[in-house]
Structures are given as structure tokens and as C-alpha cells.
Amino acid sequence: MSCLSAAPDWLKQPKDAIGPESDRLLLVEPGPSLAPLIQQFPGGVSMIYCRFTTISPEFVRRVAPDCILSPIVARQFDIVDLVRLLDRCNYRGSVVAVTDPLPAPTMVLTELRRFNRRLDMSLLELASAGGRRLHT
């Protein structure tokens, strides 16, 4: 997977058509809402879990993630905090912000991109019925 793709290819597929990939994903404080998505990850995906406070330039260099998945809002941080931190860490890859359905996802994504234009941002809406919608 290219570090500049908006999201892993398997994430763009319908949930019943997810194929194998060998991506290195960094999951930042994945809460219970991410559990259904994590269960759909293909077997070859390398998943690294971390706390927001663990992220540093050295940590990002050592882990070298292809893509970072994070809830849009967590207990100790929100996606804006993460995007700003990743800028200080010189991370230039993909970031997928996971959220419940939003009334104006394109507007939210546009605003997020203003905080760090060097990231390849996507917004993934997860519906309670198990559906998902990716905005790139």
C-alpha cells in the first residue's frame, strides 16, 4: 500500500468483499465502536494499538504505519489533537478518522485537512447496523 493512498484498499471495498492486504495499521485508542471494523480486517493486516500519549516522533518512526485509524473523538483527545501531533512527528501517511454518521462529512473532512495538509485524510462513518461509508 502506498503511504499516500487515502485509506487501505480493503477498507474501500464493501464489507463482504474485503480481501487480504499486508498493511501496517496503527490504531490509536480504539474504543468499542471500532470493534466491528477491527473484526473485518483481513488476516494479513498488522495492527498496532497505542495510547495517544504514546505517540512521539520516535514511536512513529519505529512503528512506520501505512495508515493510522483513530476515533474522531476519544476520552483524552480528538482527531484535531492527533493531526497536530502527527505533524510534529513528521508523519506523512494516511489517517482515517472513524465516527458515527455525520450530517456534513465533507465539511468536517475539509476542516480536518486544514490542520495538517501533508496528511492523506479520510473520514469513515460507521453505522450502528454494521454499514460504513468512506469519505476521501
Chain segment 29-57, per-residue pLDDT in tens: 988 777 767 776 766 678 899 999 999 99
Decide: helix, strand or coil at residue 9: helix
> Domain-by-domain residue ranges, the chain?
31-135
Phi/psi of residue 21, each to 5°? -140, 170
Fold for domain 31-135? Rossmann fold (3.40.50)
Chain segment 71-118, per-residue pLDDT in tens: 999 999 999 999 999 999 999 989 999 998 999 999 999 999 998 888
Which residue type sits at 55? Answer: I
